[in-house]
Every structure is written in structure tokens, then in C-alpha cells.
Amino acid sequence: MLLQRLARLWRPETALFIGVLALLLTGNQAQVPVAAQQATGEPTASATCSTSANATPAATVPATLSATTAATAAATLEITSEATEEADAPVHFVSLMPTDIHFNPSADKPVALVTVYSLIFENALDVPLHIQKPAFQLAINDVPWGAMVSTDFQTGEMQPHATQGIVLQNLTIIASATPQQKVILNCLKTYQPVDLTLTGTLDAYPNGTKHSVAVTLMTRQVVLREHRAAQ
């Protein structure tokens, strides 16, 4: 299903991303282990697993993770996103939330990390609005994480004050990860909360006039988890 949706993408600049993602997704998508894994060696970057002043220190996480996983999952349900955009923008951004994470081919020997997100925005006008060309970048705990590719939306019409949800994906090749990203990768493997920052634009056409809507959308202290199909 995912590959069928990716096949509908027409933007040339996403061709390389989609090709690599399609190759990786043909492997087994092993579940991320619940048990915490110790980092190999001391991190050489300034990135940390949490930017919260009350966060549990990384050294104590392996001993406490299993006991706090359920509480953390419940807390993420109430997390909201904070958007910085023009007050009179024709589109208002509502939220960015992760919906899936998986390491290919396995979490023990990963070649790539694929994360999936749901982005929701709203037509702020009293008239229908044409929108197109979403282009976004992701940062995790202020560490640049690369492009977010829309797998199901490139252009469309929004009714007055209607909301639109689109699926965004990010592909991280483990071998090319920076030292800062490797620190974050270990945070994600062990289900530690992180801050997500989405920046980018989409084009809106109120009354036929192009308006490039820029946004910075932050979602704090979220836990990324693998999607589990309903039994």
C-alpha cells in the first residue's frame, strides 16, 4: 500500500528518496526492541535525548524505561504542536505527530530508519482554497534530520475552514548519519521523548493569487513508536 502511494508522487526532486525507500522497504521491518540498548562509546556531539529540564538523565533510562513506557505513551496523547506563522496566513498549521518508526532491516543491524508523520493544517478563509507543493524539513532536538516527503498529497482544494491531513515520511541512511544524528538514533531506539521541529512552506492561492505560507511547527517531548495493526 505504501509503495502504491509513493508511485503517485511526481516531483522530480523526490525521485532519489523514493527509490532508496522502495528498496529498503522490501526487507523485513523488524519491531523496535522495547528493552533499552546501551550506546556504543561516548557521543561526540552535543545532541541529547531530551531538551526538557525535568527529563530523566540518559544514564538512568535503561533501568527505568520499562516501568515508564506506558505512562509516557499516555502522556503523548495530550501533546500539542506550536506553530509560528503569519497571523493572516490563508493556511494555519495545527499539528505534527509521528505515526510510525521502523529500522530496516532490523533495529540491531539497521541500514536505514524510516519515520512517518501526520501533518494537519486548516483553511483559515471563508472561501475554498487551492494549495500545492508542500516542502518541509525536519529537526529532532534541533539536530537537522532532512526532507519530509509527502506520500499522499501534492495539490488539492480545501473547503472553507476545512482541515487537511497529509502523510509525511523521512528516510535516514544510518551509514551517512552525523555524530549528532547517531545520538538521536539511540534515543529513538529506546523510546525516549524528543522534540520535533518542522519548517517549510506550501503554496496557497487565495482568490487566485499565490501566497507562499511559511511555518515553523514544534511538537515537544513525543515518543516515536512502530505502528501496530489492529488485531
The answer to whether residue 72 is domain-embedded is: no
Number of domains in the chain: 1
Residue 47 lies in a domain: no
Is 45 within the bounds of a domain? no
Q: What is the pTM of this model?
A: 0.70
Q: In this structure, is residue 215 part of a structural domain?
A: yes
pLDDT tens for the 231 residues of the chain, in order: 433 443 444 444 444 344 444 444 444 433 333 222 233 333 334 567 754 433 333 333 332 222 333 333 333 346 788 999 888 999 999 999 999 999 999 888 899 999 999 999 999 999 999 999 999 999 999 999 999 999 899 999 999 999 999 999 999 999 999 999 999 999 999 999 999 999 999 999 998 999 999 999 999 999 999 987 665
Residues of the domain holding 154: 2-32+79-222
Q: Please report the pLDDT score of residue 227 as a whole number.
A: 84
* Residue 168 in domain: yes
The CATH number linked to 115 is: 2.60.40.10
DSSP string, 39-59: -SS---SS--S---TTPPPGG
**Beta strands in 151-228, from DSSP E residues, in sequence order:** 155-158, 163-173, 194-205, 211-222
